[in-house]
Amino acid sequence: MSRVLIVAQASVVRAGLEAILGDAPGLQVVGTSATSSDLADQVESLQPDVILAAPGGPLSETLSASKEGLPALVLLTDDSDGAAALDALRYGARAVLPRDAQPEEIVAAVQAAASGLTVLTVETSAPLLPYLSGIGRADSVNQGEALTPREVEVLSMLAEGAGNKIIARRMGISEHTVKFHVGSIMGKLNAASRTEAVTVGIRRGLILL
Protein backbone atom coordinates (compact mmCIF):
# COMPACT_ATOMS: atom_id res chain seq x y z
CA MET A 1 0.00 0.00 0.00
CA SER A 2 1.54 3.31 -1.12
CA ARG A 3 1.07 6.25 1.25
CA VAL A 4 0.11 9.60 -0.30
CA LEU A 5 0.34 13.14 1.09
CA ILE A 6 -1.84 15.73 -0.68
CA VAL A 7 -0.64 19.35 -0.84
CA ALA A 8 -3.04 21.96 -2.25
CA GLN A 9 -3.76 25.54 -1.22
CA ALA A 10 -7.54 25.36 -1.77
CA SER A 11 -9.53 23.18 0.62
CA VAL A 12 -11.95 22.16 -2.13
CA VAL A 13 -9.03 20.90 -4.22
CA ARG A 14 -7.62 18.92 -1.30
CA ALA A 15 -11.02 17.35 -0.68
CA GLY A 16 -11.45 16.53 -4.35
CA LEU A 17 -8.07 14.86 -4.65
CA GLU A 18 -8.63 12.93 -1.44
CA ALA A 19 -11.94 11.65 -2.85
CA ILE A 20 -10.29 10.62 -6.12
CA LEU A 21 -7.59 8.61 -4.36
CA GLY A 22 -9.89 7.31 -1.63
CA ASP A 23 -11.02 4.20 -3.51
CA ALA A 24 -7.92 3.71 -5.65
CA PRO A 25 -6.34 0.27 -5.23
CA GLY A 26 -2.94 0.26 -3.58
CA LEU A 27 -3.13 3.88 -2.41
CA GLN A 28 -3.76 5.36 1.04
CA VAL A 29 -4.07 9.10 1.74
CA VAL A 30 -2.18 9.67 5.00
CA GLY A 31 -2.59 13.44 5.21
CA THR A 32 -3.37 16.74 3.49
CA SER A 33 -1.76 20.16 3.71
CA ALA A 34 -2.39 23.69 2.41
CA THR A 35 1.29 24.59 2.11
CA SER A 36 4.56 23.06 1.00
CA SER A 37 6.68 25.18 3.34
CA ASP A 38 6.89 22.45 5.98
CA LEU A 39 6.96 19.40 3.71
CA ALA A 40 10.07 17.97 5.33
CA ASP A 41 8.40 17.87 8.75
CA GLN A 42 5.22 16.35 7.33
CA VAL A 43 7.16 13.69 5.48
CA GLU A 44 9.06 12.78 8.63
CA SER A 45 5.86 12.36 10.64
CA LEU A 46 3.57 10.84 7.98
CA GLN A 47 6.10 8.81 5.98
CA PRO A 48 4.36 9.14 2.57
CA ASP A 49 5.66 7.40 -0.54
CA VAL A 50 4.19 10.01 -2.90
CA ILE A 51 3.36 13.71 -2.63
CA LEU A 52 0.45 14.83 -4.84
CA ALA A 53 0.76 18.61 -5.14
CA ALA A 54 -1.54 21.19 -6.75
CA PRO A 55 0.12 24.50 -5.79
CA GLY A 56 -2.09 27.57 -5.87
CA GLY A 57 0.78 29.98 -6.45
CA PRO A 58 4.45 29.89 -7.51
CA LEU A 59 5.95 26.42 -7.76
CA SER A 60 9.31 27.37 -6.28
CA GLU A 61 8.56 26.16 -2.75
CA THR A 62 7.17 22.82 -3.85
CA LEU A 63 9.93 22.20 -6.38
CA SER A 64 12.70 23.21 -3.98
CA ALA A 65 11.24 20.99 -1.29
CA SER A 66 10.92 18.05 -3.68
CA LYS A 67 14.64 18.14 -4.35
CA GLU A 68 15.54 17.68 -0.70
CA GLY A 69 15.31 13.91 -0.72
CA LEU A 70 11.53 13.83 -0.31
CA PRO A 71 9.18 11.17 -1.76
CA ALA A 72 8.12 11.03 -5.40
CA LEU A 73 6.32 14.21 -6.48
CA VAL A 74 3.22 14.22 -8.69
CA LEU A 75 2.46 17.77 -9.81
CA LEU A 76 -0.82 19.19 -11.12
CA THR A 77 -0.24 22.41 -13.06
CA ASP A 78 -2.22 24.78 -15.29
CA ASP A 79 0.93 25.89 -17.14
CA SER A 80 -0.12 25.17 -20.72
CA ASP A 81 3.20 26.00 -22.39
CA GLY A 82 5.09 23.26 -20.59
CA ALA A 83 7.54 25.53 -18.73
CA ALA A 84 6.40 24.33 -15.31
CA ALA A 85 6.56 20.73 -16.47
CA LEU A 86 10.15 21.11 -17.60
CA ASP A 87 11.14 22.83 -14.34
CA ALA A 88 9.41 20.11 -12.33
CA LEU A 89 11.18 17.32 -14.21
CA ARG A 90 14.53 19.01 -13.74
CA TYR A 91 13.81 19.15 -10.02
CA GLY A 92 13.04 15.43 -10.00
CA ALA A 93 9.24 15.33 -10.17
CA ARG A 94 7.95 11.90 -11.19
CA ALA A 95 4.74 13.01 -12.88
CA VAL A 96 3.34 16.25 -14.30
CA LEU A 97 -0.35 16.50 -15.19
CA PRO A 98 -2.64 19.36 -16.25
CA ARG A 99 -4.81 20.67 -13.44
CA ASP A 100 -7.93 19.42 -15.25
CA ALA A 101 -6.63 15.84 -15.62
CA GLN A 102 -9.22 13.09 -15.38
CA PRO A 103 -9.48 11.18 -12.07
CA GLU A 104 -8.21 7.97 -13.67
CA GLU A 105 -5.16 9.84 -15.01
CA ILE A 106 -4.35 11.20 -11.55
CA VAL A 107 -4.69 7.76 -9.97
CA ALA A 108 -2.52 6.16 -12.67
CA ALA A 109 0.15 8.84 -12.28
CA VAL A 110 0.32 8.44 -8.49
CA GLN A 111 0.52 4.66 -8.82
CA ALA A 112 3.26 4.95 -11.43
CA ALA A 113 5.23 7.47 -9.36
CA ALA A 114 5.00 5.15 -6.36
CA SER A 115 6.60 2.47 -8.54
CA GLY A 116 9.46 4.77 -9.52
CA LEU A 117 8.21 5.63 -13.02
CA THR A 118 8.09 9.05 -14.68
CA VAL A 119 4.76 10.07 -16.23
CA LEU A 120 3.62 12.87 -18.53
CA THR A 121 0.35 13.27 -20.38
CA VAL A 122 0.39 14.10 -24.07
CA GLU A 123 -1.05 17.59 -23.39
CA THR A 124 1.63 18.48 -20.85
CA SER A 125 4.55 16.95 -22.68
CA ALA A 126 3.87 18.07 -26.27
CA PRO A 127 6.09 21.20 -26.01
CA LEU A 128 8.80 19.17 -24.28
CA LEU A 129 9.36 16.25 -26.67
CA PRO A 130 12.69 17.61 -27.97
CA TYR A 131 13.99 17.74 -24.39
CA LEU A 132 12.53 14.66 -22.70
CA SER A 133 15.25 12.17 -23.49
CA GLY A 134 17.87 14.67 -22.36
CA ILE A 135 16.46 15.01 -18.83
CA GLY A 136 18.61 13.30 -16.29
CA ARG A 137 21.61 12.79 -18.60
CA ALA A 138 23.92 13.74 -15.76
CA ASP A 139 22.69 10.70 -13.85
CA SER A 140 23.60 8.26 -16.59
CA VAL A 141 26.87 7.64 -18.38
CA ASN A 142 25.25 6.58 -21.67
CA GLN A 143 21.76 7.77 -22.49
CA GLY A 144 22.18 7.45 -26.26
CA GLU A 145 20.78 9.89 -28.83
CA ALA A 146 17.56 11.81 -28.29
CA LEU A 147 14.45 10.37 -29.96
CA THR A 148 12.59 12.44 -32.52
CA PRO A 149 8.91 13.31 -31.83
CA ARG A 150 7.97 10.72 -34.50
CA GLU A 151 10.01 8.03 -32.75
CA VAL A 152 8.43 8.92 -29.41
CA GLU A 153 5.03 8.42 -31.05
CA VAL A 154 6.07 4.97 -32.32
CA LEU A 155 7.50 4.05 -28.92
CA SER A 156 4.22 4.99 -27.23
CA MET A 157 2.34 2.63 -29.55
CA LEU A 158 4.87 -0.14 -28.90
CA ALA A 159 4.10 0.31 -25.21
CA GLU A 160 0.42 -0.30 -26.04
CA GLY A 161 1.39 -3.60 -27.65
CA ALA A 162 0.70 -2.44 -31.21
CA GLY A 163 2.38 -4.35 -34.05
CA ASN A 164 3.98 -2.89 -37.16
CA LYS A 165 0.80 -3.15 -39.23
CA ILE A 166 -1.32 -1.30 -36.64
CA ILE A 167 1.33 1.39 -36.14
CA ALA A 168 1.62 1.87 -39.91
CA ARG A 169 -2.15 2.27 -40.26
CA ARG A 170 -2.41 4.76 -37.37
CA MET A 171 0.46 6.88 -38.63
CA GLY A 172 -0.36 6.61 -42.33
CA ILE A 173 3.05 5.19 -43.24
CA SER A 174 4.36 1.90 -44.62
CA GLU A 175 5.34 -1.08 -42.48
CA HIS A 176 8.85 -0.73 -43.86
CA THR A 177 9.02 2.80 -42.44
CA VAL A 178 7.72 1.54 -39.10
CA LYS A 179 10.48 -1.08 -39.02
CA PHE A 180 12.99 1.66 -39.74
CA HIS A 181 11.67 3.77 -36.85
CA VAL A 182 11.69 0.77 -34.48
CA GLY A 183 15.28 -0.05 -35.42
CA SER A 184 16.31 3.56 -34.86
CA ILE A 185 14.55 3.63 -31.47
CA MET A 186 16.25 0.43 -30.33
CA GLY A 187 19.62 1.75 -31.44
CA LYS A 188 19.23 5.10 -29.69
CA LEU A 189 17.99 3.47 -26.48
CA ASN A 190 20.64 0.74 -26.62
CA ALA A 191 17.84 -1.82 -26.43
CA ALA A 192 18.11 -5.42 -27.62
CA SER A 193 14.35 -5.87 -28.05
CA ARG A 194 11.12 -3.92 -28.34
CA THR A 195 10.25 -4.84 -24.76
CA GLU A 196 13.56 -3.46 -23.53
CA ALA A 197 13.03 -0.29 -25.58
CA VAL A 198 9.66 0.25 -23.90
CA THR A 199 11.21 -0.38 -20.47
CA VAL A 200 13.96 2.17 -21.13
CA GLY A 201 11.39 4.60 -22.51
CA ILE A 202 9.33 4.34 -19.32
CA ARG A 203 12.39 4.99 -17.18
CA ARG A 204 13.19 8.12 -19.18
CA GLY A 205 9.62 9.40 -19.11
CA LEU A 206 9.08 8.96 -22.84
CA ILE A 207 5.99 6.78 -22.48
CA LEU A 208 2.90 8.96 -22.17
CA LEU A 209 -0.44 8.20 -20.52
Please state the pTM of the whole predicted model.
0.60
The predicted structure's pLDDT at residue 160? 83
- Compute the distance between CA of residue 173 and CA of residue 180 in angstroms, rounded to an integer: 11
Angle CA(182)–CA(175)–CA(125) in degrees, nearest 5? 50
Domains in the chain (CATH in brackets) are 2-121 (3.40.50.2300), 133-203 (1.10.10.10)
Per-residue pLDDT of the chain (209 residues; tens, 9 = 90+): 999 999 998 999 999 999 999 989 899 999 998 877 777 788 888 999 999 998 765 454 555 555 555 688 898 887 645 666 666 776 667 888 888 888 988 998 898 888 877 776 656 555 555 555 554 443 443 455 688 888 888 998 988 888 999 999 999 999 888 988 998 888 888 888 888 888 888 878 777 55
